[in-house]
Amino acid sequence: MIRVEDLHLHFGGIRAVDGASVNIAKGSITGLIGPNGAGKSTLFNVIAGLYRPTSGKVWLDGEDVTGLSPHALFHKGLLRTFQIAHEFASLTVRENLMMVPAEQPGEVLWDAWFKPGRVRAREAEVRARADEVIDFLEIPHVADELAGNLSGGQKKLLELGRTMMVDAKIVFLDEVGAGVNRTLLNTIGDAILRLNRERGYTFCMVEHDMDFIGRLCDPVIVMAEGKVLTVGHPAEVMKNEAVIEAYLGRGLKNRKASAMGPA
C-alpha cells in the first residue's frame, strides 16, 4: 500500500529521517515505535506531504506520490492526525468535522447561490455523518462547543473523528492515545479495530504505550535516529537486542518483556 524508499529529510545538520525504508501492507495496522526524536512524526510529515524529502521516494498503491501536496494526498485517501492536536479553534466541534469532506457544493459560489437545494442536501448528509462520529466518540455534550475550548484529550478524539468523516484508504495516527484516559483508550482501540475490519482502513500508528501497540499492531516498525532498526511481530521486536538497547534501555528489559506477555 505505502512503500517508502531510502527516505532522507535533513533540517540543516539534523538528520531527522536518515535513510528510512518502510512497507505498509494493505489492510494492516502497522505500529511505529522508537525513542523520542527518532523521526517518527517527521516520517509522517513527509509521507503526508507537509515536507518535501531531501531525497528518497514515497509510493502509494504503486504510484509515486513523493512531494505531492497534502491536499492532493488527502484526495487519494491518505489521512493523518497530528501528535499535537490541531483544530479549527474558532469553529465548533461539529463544524470541525463537517469541514473534512471535500468538494462540497456549498464551497463554490455559483452553486451556493444558484443551487441551494443541492447544497442543503449535501450539507444534511455531511451533518448526519458528523453526528454519527460524535456519537461514536461519545462527545455529544461538546458538539456545539468551540473546538479551541476542548481539553487536550477531547482534541485527540476530534483528531480521530476527523479521519472517520471520509472513506480513507490509509490513516496515519500520531499518538492518538497519548493523554487519553484508559477507558477512552480502549474505546479508541476498539474503534481502530472496527474501522480496520469493517471499512478496510489501513492504519499506521505511532504510540509509546506498549500494551496498546501489542493489542492492535502487527507488524511493528522500530525507528531510531532516523533509521529503521527492525520490523516484526510486537513480541519478537521486544526481544530484539538492538531495540532494547535503543528504546527500552537495559534496566527495563525484563519488566517490558513480561508486560508484553507471551506472543
Partner 1 sequence: MDVLNALVLFLNFVMIPATAYGAQLALGALGVTLIYAVLRFSNFAHGDMMAFGTMLVVLVTWGLQSLGVSLGPLPTALLALPIGILGTIVLALVTDASVYRFYRSKRSEPVIFVIASVGVMFVYNALTRFVIGTDDQRFEDGARFVVKVGDFRKWSGLDEGLAIRTSQLITVVVMILTVAFVFWFLQKTRTGKAMRAYSDNEDLALLSGISPERVVRITWILAAALAVIAGTLYGLDKSFRPFTYFQLLLPIFAAAIVGGIGHPLGAVAGGFVVAYSEVMVTYAYKGVLTYLLPEAWRPEGLVQMLGTDYKFAVSFIILVVVLLIRPTGIFRGRTI
By the rule CB under 6 A, 81 interacts with ligand ATP: no
- Contact region for ligand ATP (CB under 6 A) — 37-45, 121-129, 151-159, 244-252? 37-45
- Contact region for ligand ATP (CB under 6 A) — 33-41, 61-69, 129-137, 157-165? 33-41
Residue 165 or 228: which CB sits closer to Mg ion? 228
Question: What is the C-alpha end-to-end distance of the chain, expressed in Å?
Answer: 26
Three-state secondary structure call for residue 13:
coil
The site map against Mg ion for 200-239 (x = CB under 5 A) is ----------------------------------------
Residue 79 or 260: which CB sits closer to partner 1? 79
Contact 42, 20 (CB under 8 A): no
Touching Mg ion, residues 19-48 (CB under 5 A):
40-41
Write down the H helix ranges in the chain: 40-47, 70-75, 93-98, 109-114, 116-136, 152-163, 182-198, 210-216, 234-239, 241-243, 253-260
CB of 8 to ligand ATP, least distance (A): 12
By the rule CB under 6 A, 205 interacts with ligand ATP: no
Residues that bind partner 1 (CB under 8 A): 48, 50, 69-71, 74, 79-80, 82, 86-91, 95-96, 99-104, 106-109, 112, 119, 123, 162, 166
State how far the Cα of 252 lies from the Cα of 183, in Å rounded to an integer. 26
Residue 58: count other Cβ atoms within 10 Å of its Cβ: 24
Write down the H helix ranges in 170-233: 182-198, 210-216
Contact 217, 27 (CB under 8 A): no
Touching Mg ion, residues 79-138 (CB under 5 A):
83
State how far the Cα of 111 lies from the Cα of 117, in Å rounded to an integer. 9
CB of 122 to partner 1, least distance (A): 9
Q: List interacting residues with ligand ATP (CB under 6 A).
A: 11, 14, 16, 34, 36-42, 83
